[in-house]
Structure 1
Amino acid sequence: MKGLILNDFLSMRKLLKSILFVFFAFAAIWGFMDQPETGAIIICVMGISYLFNLFTYDEYYHWDQYRSILPVSHKQIVLARYAAFGITSLILLGISSIYTLILGGAARCGLMLLVSLCMQGYTTAVIIPIAYKFGMQKGRMLYLLTMLIPFGVMMGVTIALSEAGMLPTGGMLALMLAALIVLIVLMVMVSIHISIKIVSRKSF
């Protein structure tokens, strides 16, 4: 399973480098515009493209057919993909959190964490099973709808709350983050179970 995770990272190393380049290139601009949380959220969402590209590459190179002859179970295949995406999301989230905390303070950092975790958790729980079920080519329009609509709503709420000064602080922020983490863990567990079933029923 470690080999599968490493394979995902090696496949997307150029994309990950470009995401980090964009972050460092525009970090000063976002800070100057006094919108560090917006820039941090954009970077975290850009990391979601990592997941789409992995499934696109799988289809293009018929990786599923080759992988089916490897001495790994369907469960390991699915867990490796979730792990690769989870590790990437946490790294980008950590970098964005430090950046927002330094330039925007704890309240803005907390808001960024809430929005980014929602998007990353939602993507992991919803998009991965859909990708396994329909593939990237057949489900392209469905992916756009399931991604752009929630992203638009989240960004709108974030900007509105930030401009209105209605940022969660202290105990309320901690409670919201804890509840969100528990919800994401439950959603991902259900998502993994569904994905394993889908992959197990496929014939390559």
Structure 2
Amino acid sequence: MKPATVSLTEQTELYRLYPHTIDDDKPGSPAWFCGGEPPCRFDLRDGAGTCYVASTALGAFIEVFLRVAGIGLSEDEVHKRHLAIMQVSAERILLNLNSRRNFGILNIDAGLLHETNYQYSQSQALAVTMNRQGIEGVQWLSLRDPASREMNYALFAPSSGVDVGKIFEVQETGRIPDDLIEQATNEFDVPRLRSAGLYPGGS
């Protein structure tokens, strides 16, 4: 059975939080394709890469900073990252995990849709299968949003690293706005902390 897909067009604004410096004060990349270290949900294998973006700035924010439930928001960690606004340079066809038509095929079940184990074995196996079939990524609702409004996207590339093949057009980058921090802390009712080292790293 052919899976249900969705088109991600050049007109869609996408958001990503990224470290503005990494390692030895090297600049971070607004568009970085993960290669499996540390493992992210829809990572591929054999050197291919996956870039994770969200449909809103709030969605991108909670994917990074609400990974550690019940601890709070570390302000010094927030200031280590910038917000990027991007668009794809050409239309991309994505697997639509929000489609009821896909439930029960390709091993898509409740366990996969709600997979939170940080090894992500089911989700990564699905990503590999989709990539081999020519599907260019995955669309799914954020597991970190109880209201099920924030949409996430994982886009595939032939190799990991900095925007291989120029898949994205970066429209704007800069510090995370104060009103976005305020919105996240208010809507998710998390305290603002000043201690570092609470959140997983990443590029």
The TM-score by the shorter chain falls in which range? Answer: under 0.3
Higher normalized strand content (fraction of residues) = 2
Q: Which is higher, the Rg of structure 1 or of structure 2? A: 1
| Higher RCO structure, 1 or 2 (CA under 8 Å, sep 6+) | 2
What is the TM-score when the length of structure 2 is the normalising length?
0.27
